[in-house]
């Protein structure tokens, strides 16, 4: 039953009396609607709790009738509507499945459940959450495929699914998430290729799909992601050459493609075009040609890993221009026997590892 509340000051000749039935009906509807929405959120949370039998720290013990659900541990609500906007239960060793009822929390903006022991599949119903901006499910044991319905979450900015047991292909539909900034899918069992559609993610700054079973070429469209800071595709079965446009993404700081079957040569001007480069991992591939001297123009470089390739020629003698260099690994290549470059390394006072 709904309570009708009407606050209205009337003068004896107030013309608004004629609207009184409408006002009463409007307030009656709003209160009933809000009460029903509260019940929907509360019911969805309790269903979520039901699907989590493993709760070693009794985190969900506060989820009961002794307090409003907005005060339950890990739950945050908006001030205006008192609807659930954040579900943050990270790192509590919770174990269970993700209830499909989570898709009924229609005001959710953040789901933060990483570092737990959730298993089973990611519910397709998460695709109903059109307000969702953050989905953090990393470091669990989730299985099955990445739901293509996530493409309906048009406001999604952060998608972290790394270190699970996800399988299948990366959904091409994810390429429609135009607000996506971070995409981390590494350390799963994903197969197939990198979808060409991901080149449409113009807001993307971090792209990580390392340690999967991906095959095929790197799509040329990936080089259109001009805001990339982090790009790691290491430990897959990718082949072919790296798109030339990717070598021109000047914002790149971490560029990691090691342990694939990639080939080709490094552009002569790589260090000039990637001035912000800090980590450069190209080892365990089939790259050939010389190591460009321009690499030393990327003065922020900290780690260079080029081992197990087919590089030839001399090691650049200006490596000493890299004052922040911590790690230099060049072993198992066809580099000359000249060690003149070692003299310049005396300027690299932070160098911790040298493997020739």
From CA 299, how far away is CA 111, in angstroms rounded? 39
Residue pLDDT, tens place only, 141-160: 999 999 999 999 999 999 99
pTM of the model as a whole: 0.88
Name which of 158, 161, 154 is nearest 138 in CA terms. 161
Q: Which two tokens stand for residue 352?
A: 């911790």
- What is the Cα–Cα distance from 54 to 94, expressed in whole angstroms? 5
How many other C-beta atoms lie within 10 A of the C-beta of residue 114?
Answer: 21
Residues 180 and 237 in one domain: no
The reply to whether 66 and 127 lie within a common domain is yes
At residue 179's C-alpha, the angle toward residues 174 and 181, to 5°, is 85
- Judged against a pLDDT cut of 80, whether residue 248 lies above it is answered with yes
**pLDDT, tens digit, 9 for 90 and up, residues 211-238:** 999 999 999 999 999 999 999 999 999 9
337-355 core/surface letters (b: 16 or more CB in 10 A; e: else): eeeebeebbeebeebeeee
Residues 121 and 192 in one domain: yes
What is the bridge-based pairing of β-strands 353-355 and 84-88?
A: unpaired
Question: What is the average pLDDT across 309-328?
Answer: 92
Q: Choose the final residue of a domain: 216, 235, 269.
A: 216
> 90 with 117, same domain?
yes
Question: What is the Cα gyration radius of the chain?
Answer: 27
Could you tell me if residue 190 is inside a domain?
yes
Q: What share of the chain is helix, strand, coil (3-state, %, to 5)?
A: 25, 25, 50
pLDDT for residue 32 = 41
Beta bridge partners of 184: 160, 208
- CATH number of the domain to which 116 belongs: 3.80.10.10
Question: pLDDT tens digit string along 45-74?
Answer: 999 999 999 999 999 999 999 999 999 999
Are 61 and 117 found together in one domain?
yes
Confidence of residue 39 (pLDDT cuts 50, 70, 90): confident
pLDDT for position 219? 98
Q: How many alpha carbons fall within 13 Å on the CB side of residue 175?
A: 16
Q: Which domain holds residue 344?
A: 226-356
Extended strands (E) in 162-299:
167-169, 182-184, 189-191, 206-208, 215-216, 230-232, 237-241, 254-256, 261-265, 279-281, 286-289
Residue 285 in domain: yes
Q: pLDDT grade, residue 21 (50/70/90)?
A: very low
Query: Are residues 168 and 264 located together in one domain of the fold?
Result: no
285 and 146 together in one domain = no
The two tokens of residue 276 are 């912000």
Res. 31: pLDDT tops 70:
no
Q: What is the arithmetic mean of pLDDT over 332-339?
A: 84
The answer on 196 and 293 residing in a single domain is no
Ranking 15-24, 29-38, 287-296 by mean pLDDT, the lowest is: 15-24
* DSSP characters over 306-338: --SSEEEEPPPTTGGG-TT--EEE--SSEE-S-
pLDDT digits (tens, 9 = 90+) for 67-121: 999 999 999 999 988 999 999 999 999 999 999 999 999 999 999 999 999 999 9
Structurally, the chain folds into a number of domains equal to 2
Predicted confidence at residue 36, as pLDDT, reads 62
Within-domain flag for 23: no
Look at the block and give the residue holding tokens 């221009």: 321
Name the token pair of 235: 């430990």
> Distance between CA atoms of 219 and 233, rounded to whole angstroms?
12
The token pair that represents 217 in the structure block: 């070429």
- Domain membership of residue 1 (yes or no) is no
Listed in sequence order, the DSSP H helices in 145-292 are 270-273
pLDDT at residue 38, rounded to an integer: 66
Contacts of residue 74, defined as CB under 8 A and 6 or more positions apart, other chains included, come to 59, 87, 88, 89
**Which residue in 254, 276, 169, 243 sits closest to 208, CA to CA?**
254
Model confidence at 341, pLDDT cuts 50, 70, 90, reads confident
Q: Note whether residue 7 is domain-resident.
A: no
Residue at which a domain ends, from 182, 216, 250: 216
Residue 163's region, left for phi above 0, alpha for psi from -120 to 50, else beta, is left
């Amino acid at each position: 039953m709904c309570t009708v509340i009407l606050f209205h000051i009337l003068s004896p000749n107030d013309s608004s009396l004629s609207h009184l039935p409408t006002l009463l009906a409007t307030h009656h509807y709003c209160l009933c609607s809000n009460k029903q929405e509260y019940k929907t959120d509360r019911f969805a949370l309790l269903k979520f709790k039901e699907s989590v039998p493993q709760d070693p720290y009794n985190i969900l013990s506060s989820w009961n009738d002794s307090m409003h659900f907005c005060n339950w541990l890990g739950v945050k609500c908006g001030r205006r509507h008192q609807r659930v906007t954040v579900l943050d239960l990270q790192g509590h060793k919770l174990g269970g499945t993700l209830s499909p009822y989570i898709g009924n929390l229609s005001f959710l903006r953040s789901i933060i459940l990483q570092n737990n022991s959730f298993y089973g599949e990611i519910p397709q119903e998460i695709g109903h959450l059109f307000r969702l901006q953050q989905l953090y499910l990393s470091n669990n044991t989730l299985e099955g495929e990445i739901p293509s319905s996530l493409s309906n979450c048009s406001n999604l900015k952060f998608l972290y699914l790394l270190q699970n047991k996800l399988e299948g292909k990366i959904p091409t539909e994810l390429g429609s998430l135009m607000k996506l900034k971070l995409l981390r899918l590494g350390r799963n069992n994903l197969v197939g290729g990198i979808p060409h559609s991901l080149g449409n993610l113009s807001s993307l700054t971090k792209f990580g799909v390392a340690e999967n079973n991906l095959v095929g070429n790197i799509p040329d469209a990936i080089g259109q992601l001009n805001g990339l800071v982090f790009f790691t595709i290491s430990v897959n079965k990718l082949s072919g050459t790296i798109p030339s446009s990717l070598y021109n993404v000047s914002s790149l700081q971490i560029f990691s493609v090691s342990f694939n079957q990639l080939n080709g040569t490094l552009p002569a001007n790589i260090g000039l075009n990637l001035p912000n480069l800090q980590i450069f991992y190209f080892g365990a591939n089939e790259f050939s040609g010389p190591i460009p001297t321009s690499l030393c123009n990327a003065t922020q470089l900290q780690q260079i890993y080029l081992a197990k390739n087919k590089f030839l020629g001399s090691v650049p003698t200006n490596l000493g221009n890299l004052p922040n260099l911590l790690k230099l690994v060049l072993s198992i290549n066809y580099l000359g026997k000249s060690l003149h470059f070692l003299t310049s390394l005396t300027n690299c006072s932070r160098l911790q590892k040298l493997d020739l």
